[in-house]
Amino acid sequence: MKKRMAYNMNFDWQYHDGDLETTAYESVHETRFKSPIWMKAGNCGVAKWGYDTSHWDNINVPHDFRVYRGEYDPENVPEPEGFLKMGIVWYRKAFFVDKSHEGKCISIEFDGVYRDSEIYVNGHFVGRHLSGYTSFHYDISDVIRYGQPNVVAVRVNATNYEGWWYEAAGIYRDVRLVITEPIYVKKDGIFVRTYMPMNSSKLFRERKEIPSVLLKADIDMGNDTSYEGMLKVEIEVVDPYGVSVMSNYDTVKVDAYEDKIITLEDVIIGPKLWDIDSPRLYTLFVTIKKDDQVMDTQTLTFGIKDVQFTSQKGIYLNGRSIKIQGVCVHDDFAAVGGALTESTIRHKIQILKNMGCNAYRCSHNPPSPYLLKACDDIGILVMDEVRLMSTADEYIQQMTDLFKRDRNHASIFIWSIGNEEMNIHGTPTGVRIMKKLQRLAHRLDDTRPITYGNNCNWYDITKFHENHDFHIDVFGFNYYVNRQFDLYDKIHAEYPDRCILGTENGSGQSTRGQYLPREEELNPGYYSERSKTTSIWANPKRKYNVSAYTESYPLWGSTPLETLKAADKNYVAGYFVWTGFDYRGEIFPFTWPSVISRYGIIDLCGFMKDSGHQYRVHWTKEPSIHLMPHWTFDCVGEEIEVVITANTQEIEFICNGTSYGRKPIAPFEAAHYFVHYEPGEIIALGYNDGIEVVRESHKTASEPKCIQLQLVSDYALRANGEDTIMVQVKVLDAFGIDNPSASNRIDFQVEGVGEIVGCGNGDPLCHDHDHNHHRALFNGLALVVLKTTRQTGTIRLTASSDGLMSDTMYIQVTEKADDQLVPAVKDATLEVYDTKDAADGGL
């Protein structure tokens, strides 16, 4: 019998923009003080039934209030944060808990609130959390009103910045209410890990498989009762095909109100390994029994894999050498900002997987749990990262919470204890801090190494650390100091027994689909003072033009092909490109009115840039070629640069029927042609052993005639009110050729069991509100984001524009929601309602 219940609390919140001058309501001293919260227990009136919220907005979470507002404030918000206003806001939700749950443990869990939050329940302060990225939870059993309305209120102070990039603000991740018996598995209280045989490398070489692995599972139990006696703890492991392959149990004596940790272990015969090409997951079931009565059950997935970091051959995954082909990513996306649902995150990860990416760096903060789940399922390795390097109690607790929450995920292959801590790395203080954090990391997880994103003059900094007896598990280097691409060789010669990983590389800047100068960006006033001394423009002809050719980058940066070539050394484990996707903020080299970065190899909408295609060509195994630019310009007779990238032996370029001949193409090089533009068609062909194996072509488009909608997200849709649907929008001419220069405004309407979340187009200068139901195409593309409701059925999306034939798309939502909702309560009527059809009724 399942005792643990986790209820979705994302729906039916109320939102107040700004701080509250008056929080008193049925509060002690309310006639003398407007906000007597801290004077008496239970004195926060905002978190009491009956408090007037008639003027508050009704919203659901995840919720990024910066995007929800859509208000730019370039005078007060720094450029790295993208100019969207910050502030203090309140959230509030009324809910009902049945009397049958009295005596149980009730906790509220937040996956992420940015930034400083105070949580109140029924007037009582239950906790404060000062990080914008780590998950947290509070036991609220003592203050719940059973059989009556309950109220949770959350004050969010997002006036401080943690990062130097755009950061979501508000309750931007999921919220849950968890109910268990008072004897239970603690939050993040299970740690399962597997150990390979000592001769695993030899076994992989000779047998290509591992005969068995040792599994250990630590279970941290809570006993919030006066019970003294024996508890039985059972574990069962089910393989990726649903077959039970291991079970074990033990008994443990507990005293009244005593917590206990028990470790169970056994052998799994013939393990099915988790791999980036076959992400096979096991399931662990944990059951706690008292006198044969089930007290709690807990389930989690994990993977069995072998990762070896070597100094000469980089990384071996399950016995085979791989190169880390990774990206760094900030949490942001068109239409939603940082309020990324599970399906939105999965969409982003699938885009990366499809282009050959095999690793993801959580830059520079703990990720959403959904990110790790998607990487587990799809087969992407993850570098999980601590937000800030410190040994203060608060940060030690945040790091501990992060490791305990995430360490069961199959995708994590390395931890990062920090990034670019310029105040302390290369100093005695930094050495002391790093040593302590590395020891803590090894205590919390003895199966994975750690690294650190070392920047600036990392060669000298590394020598300082080594000379002061700090030996990090894996060298992590950000960029190449002043573009000294031979530094890897130099550091490897000095420390030949250490593994090297490029923790951050690239930083090439580009604008999707922008090949000719954009007049509005040629204004010298749009460039920041910092960029005037730290920008490199590799092509003087396109200086001050951040084009699709990726020819601009900071002093420490490199082009995609330079990045690929520099890491092409056997002893280098791989690299993480800065960045996978564009994101708001960090708009270097620009300032206002630009609001979106240009670092991404994919734009904010998930549309691939030419730089992304250059990585894709070299990350994929099959023959691949990329041809840029498109061939629809209004500049007949002017010279256009054509660039071909390929992983084939030879390439050929054909323009309007004229071949420029075949020629060899070296790895990590591109072929450049300068052609006087005439409408028609350009073709790039790739040859291996003299045989054509791949081609790409672009035709000139004429005037747009019709709109084309295309579903680009690829997952089954659930009627859960949260699954997002990504629809690409473009326009076609009379011959069905898409126009890559089009800028038509497109209007959207939806009917049926879906809603419009918002739109985007990837334009770094666009200030349109993300939640609008219309958007102009930017260089031929736009994105409209929909979401499901709580009903199955059909979604009908229509796109229209003046002078163009409209298009309609029908999308089926067939899967019912698999969650249970916390029944909300309407303040005005005391009516308990659940319009979302919660599976098991009220709590």
User: What domains appear along the chain, each with residue ranges and CATH number?
Assistant: 5-177 (2.60.120.260), 197-302 (2.60.40.10), 322-618 (3.20.20.80), 633-699 (2.60.40.10), 706-816 (2.60.40.10)
Distance from C-alpha of 191 to C-alpha of 219, rounded to nearest angstrom: 7
Q: Write down the pLDDT at residue 827.
A: 55
Distance from C-alpha of 95 to C-alpha of 543, rounded to nearest angstrom: 58
Does 528 score more than 90 pLDDT?
no
pLDDT band, residue 838 (cuts 50/70/90): very low
Q: What is the pLDDT of residues 410-448, one digit of tens each?
A: 999 999 999 999 999 999 999 999 999 999 999 999 999
Q: What is the pLDDT of residues 695-738, one digit of tens each?
A: 999 999 999 999 999 999 988 999 999 999 999 999 999 999 99
Mean pLDDT of 816-839: 62
- Amino acid letter for position 806: S
- Amino acid letter for position 782: A
Does 689 score more than 70 pLDDT?
yes
> In the structure encoding, which two tokens stand for residue 360, read together?
């993801």
Distance from C-alpha of 418 to C-alpha of 657, rounded to nearest angstrom: 54
DSSP 649-697: SEEEEEETTEEEEEEE--TT-EEEEEEE--SSEEEEEEEETTEEEEEEE
Q: What is the pLDDT of residues 617-628, one digit of tens each?
A: 999 999 999 999
Percent of the chain with pLDDT over 90: 92
Return phi, psi of residue 220, to 5°. Answer: -100, 115
pLDDT band, residue 509 (cuts 50/70/90): very high
Q: Write down the pLDDT at residue 362.
A: 99
Mean pLDDT of 522-532: 83
Q: Write down the pLDDT at residue 524.
A: 77
Q: Write down the pLDDT at residue 2.
A: 57
Q: Is 306 helix (H, G, I), strand (E, B) or coil?
A: coil
Instruction: Find residue 454's DSSP bridge partners.
Output: 477
pLDDT band, residue 529 (cuts 50/70/90): confident
369's enclosing H/E stretch is helix 369-378
Q: Is 253 helix (H, G, I), strand (E, B) or coil?
A: strand
Distance from C-alpha of 233 to C-alpha of 405, rounded to nearest angstrom: 21
Q: Write down the pLDDT at residue 207.
A: 83
Q: Which of 322-331, 521-530, 610-619, 834-843 comes out lowest in average pLDDT? A: 834-843
Q: Identify which of 254, 202, 264 has the alpha carbon closest to the alpha carbon of residue 233.
A: 264
Torsion region of 320: left, alpha or beta (phi above 0 gives left; psi -120 to 50 gives alpha)? beta
Q: What is the mean pLDDT of the chain?
A: 96
Q: What is the pLDDT of residues 776-808, one digit of tens each?
A: 999 999 999 999 999 999 999 999 999 999 999
The whole-model pTM stands at 0.97
C-alpha of 195 from chain center: 29
Does 168 score more than 70 pLDDT?
yes
Does 840 score more than 50 pLDDT?
no
Does 828 score more than 50 pLDDT?
no
Does 835 score more than 80 pLDDT?
no
Mean pLDDT of 333-337: 99
pLDDT band, residue 350 (cuts 50/70/90): very high
- Largest CA-CA distance found in the chain, in angstroms, rounded: 89
DSSP 639-654: EEEEEEEESSSEEEEE
Q: What is the pLDDT of residues 669-688, one digit of tens each?
A: 999 999 999 999 999 999 99
pLDDT band, residue 242 (cuts 50/70/90): very high
Residues 6 or more apart whose CB falls under 8 angstroms from that of 576 comprise 324, 326, 327, 328, 359, 361, 383, 502, 503, 504, 505
**Residues in the chain, how many?**
843
Does 254 score more than 90 pLDDT?
yes
Q: Write down the pLDDT at residue 834.
A: 40
Q: What is the pLDDT of residues 450-506, one digit of tens each?
A: 999 999 999 999 999 999 999 999 999 999 988 999 999 999 999 999 999 999 999
- Residue 817 per-residue DSSP state: P
Percent of the chain with pLDDT over 70: 98
> In the structure encoding, which two tokens stand for residue 539, read together?
């092509």
Q: Write down the pLDDT at residue 785.
A: 99
pLDDT band, residue 843 (cuts 50/70/90): low
- Residue 633 per-residue DSSP state: -
Q: Write down the pLDDT at residue 521.
A: 83
Q: Write down the pLDDT at residue 714.
A: 87
DSSP 437-448: HHHHHHHH-TTS
DSSP 754-783: EEEEEEE---TT----TT-SEEE-BTTBEE
> In the structure encoding, which two tokens stand for residue 133, read together?
């990225």
Q: What is the pLDDT of residues 367-383, one digit of tens each?
A: 999 999 999 999 999 99
